[in-house]
Structure 1
């Protein structure tokens, strides 16, 4: 399924323009579609193509019961612990990307973003996906601090 986009090429998300896209036609900054979630994309800009492929991979592994061979990266909720849910493109509350190569970014953002883009000479790009998690303070212990994810 990753190589050819079958059967996802006939999903509504793949057939209806404007659904599940990174960027958009109306904004003039179309990076690519999340569906079909395959390893191929039509995008002239290597950086944008790699970002959309990363978004697709993140989309698959943050959902259960997909038509891909994969291991979901979803933790189970427990009392006092609420792990992040499904990754949704352009929604910073579900996850942000930190560029690791060709340049290491000191900040995180969703795709598309206006951060400076360095084109890799070898076409190699990598990002880390940072996900939000919530926990409640345990009684009788010291709260060390918190970080606002947005």
Structure 2
């Protein structure tokens, strides 16, 4: 039976109070505003009603989170973009839900209740485009809870190594709660011609 997964998305708390602190050598600002909610599945009726998404599901029937190769394991379909995921592995189900939310918030005009997570081009800055599942050129995920992990796309490598029953077993949360950071590529011009002025 499909499992239901609630899924929020918000701006990073780490840069609150210090905008641009991490981009001191570049002229550019991230699209995400610290602590701003971009998606809350509890207020989006489409997250709970897959039957309302039939036209989009039929249009995007081949989009899915799956391991590479012709025999790659399917983690879950991207559509319908709801909290219902057909996946027995808890970590994979959470990952599919997170990928669905990223697919929603990095596009405009989606039939969901959300705030687009898109930056503005110009002034020496080129924000990333929409997230595409399995494409490391558009995004990478970093597991933050229940433990920290490295950055990669979901299902980015082939199935279990020989002798390993569940290589993702260490990532499974006993509470069923997961948190990831979504890393996206930005292009910015280097800052030039700046002067440090001080007044005593």
* TM-score with structure 2 setting the length: 0.64
Matched residue, 1:101: 145
Relative to the length of structure 1, the TM-score reads 0.83
Corresponding residue number in structure 2 for 1:35:
79
- Does the 8 Å CA contact 1:13/1:20 hold for their aligned counterparts? no
Structure 2, gaps ≥5 residues long? 1-45, 161-166, 196-200
| Larger Rg over CA atoms | 2
Counterpart contact for 2:85–2:93, Cα < 8 Å:
yes
Higher strand content, 1 or 2: 2
How far apart are the structure 2 equivalents of 1:85 and 1:141? Answer: 30
Equivalent residue, structure 2, for 1:137: 190
- The aligned residue for residue 94 of structure 2 is 50
For 2:153 and 2:176, locate their aligned partners in 1 and report how far apart those are by CA, in whole Å. 20
Q: Give the corresponding residue for 1:148.
A: none
CA distance in 2, matches of 1:100, 1:138: 32
SS at match of 2:182: strand
Q: Supply the distance in 2 between the matched residues of 1:44 and 1:2 (Cα, whole angstroms).
A: 19
Q: Which residue is 1:122 aligned to?
A: 175
User: Larger % of helix: which?
Assistant: 2
State the distance in 1 between where 2:140 and 2:185 align. Answer: 9
Task: Give unpaired runs (5+ residues) of structure 1.
Answer: 143-150
Aligned length: 138
Confirm whether residue 2 of structure 1 aligns to residue 2 of structure 2.
Answer: no
Whose RCO is larger (CA < 8 A, sep 6+)? 2
Aligned-residue CA RMSD (Å)? 2.0
